[in-house]
Amino acid sequence: MSDTKKEIIRAAKFLFFSISAGVIQSLSFLVMNEFLKWNYWVCYLVALALSVIWNFTLNRKFTFKSANNVPVAMFKVFLFYLVFTPLSTWGGQALNDVGVNEYIVLALSMILNFVLEFLYQKYVVFRGSIDSAKKS
């Protein structure tokens, strides 16, 4: 299989798993926002954490097929979110405070997260270990 075709398939898998993580994030956000009536930032942080764990687990195994040291890879993802989370939480809360609908803010954050996380995982987290896992 050509490298281009392999990368298109990899990007499609990442998109598919990100959509599933997005469903988890959206539904958990909806429950906390509509039923528990928590503040935007609390809903966002909890929902984001749930989706990150789901997305990392699936993408490491199936998209990047990495045999990388899992704690090291998770720490690299933690570093990404150490920057992304406060910026997106602050920005999302600021947009919400000026009247932008929280679901529009959530969607914008999720799209930004999708693009940045794919690039970060491919070129930082799993660089040098892509397709290194043994087939079982």
CB 116 within 8 A of CB 84: yes
The answer to whether 51 and 22 are in contact (CB under 8 A) is: yes
Give pLDDT tens digits along the chain (136 positions): 899 999 999 999 999 999 999 999 999 999 999 999 999 999 999 999 999 999 999 999 999 999 889 999 999 999 999 999 999 999 999 999 999 999 999 999 999 999 999 999 999 999 999 999 977 5
Per 3-state DSSP, the chain is made up of helix, strand and coil in percentages (nearest 5) of 80, 0, 20
Tell me the helices (H) and strands (E) count for the chain, helix number first. 4, 0
Q: What is the pLDDT of residues 54-85, one digit of tens each?
A: 999 999 999 999 988 999 999 999 999 999 99
8 Å CB contact between 82 and 72: no
- Please check whether residue 33 is in contact with residue 40, taking contact to mean a CB–CB distance below 8 angstroms: yes
Distance (Å, rounded) from C-alpha 122 to C-alpha 80?
13
As a whole number of angstroms, the distance between CA 125 and CA 136 comes to 23
- pTM (2 d.p.): 0.84
Place of tokens 């930082």: 124
Its sign, for the CA torsion 60, 110, 118, 120, is: negative
CB–CB of 116/92 below 8 Å? no
